[in-house]
Amino acid sequence: ATGGGASLDLISPAVDCTGLSSVYLHFDAVAQLNNNGSAVFDVDVRTTANPTWTNVLRRVAPSRTSPAPNVNASNADGLFGRSTIDITSRAANAAGV
């Protein structure tokens, strides 16, 4: 339901980045964040060696009035099309990204 607080998750299979000095995450997405102004779209990364999720991309509904995360000029609105995110600091030479 709109404004219902649902969480929809997509988790990829682990990728072995051993021996790679730079790693980029590429994906295509359309995320229209019109969930009563409270929607958040996050991309998080973790490795088997460090299983704590690290946020690498966040988009927040432009009219969000809910508590943090707060909307600002760098994260307002949805996501439309191709995204390329440098995750080298998190994934370079790591197994199980």
C-alpha 83/C-alpha 87 separation (Å) is 12
Instruction: Answer for the pair 30, 80: CB distance below 8 angstroms, yes or no.
Output: yes
Token pair 């990829």 in the structure block, residue: 12
What pTM was estimated for this model as a whole? 0.82
For 9-58, the pLDDT digits (tens) are 888 999 999 999 999 999 998 888 875 678 888 999 999 888 999 999 99
Q: pLDDT tens digits for 60-91? A: 888 777 778 888 888 887 788 899 999 999 99
- pLDDT value of residue 62: 83
Res 31: pLDDT: 83
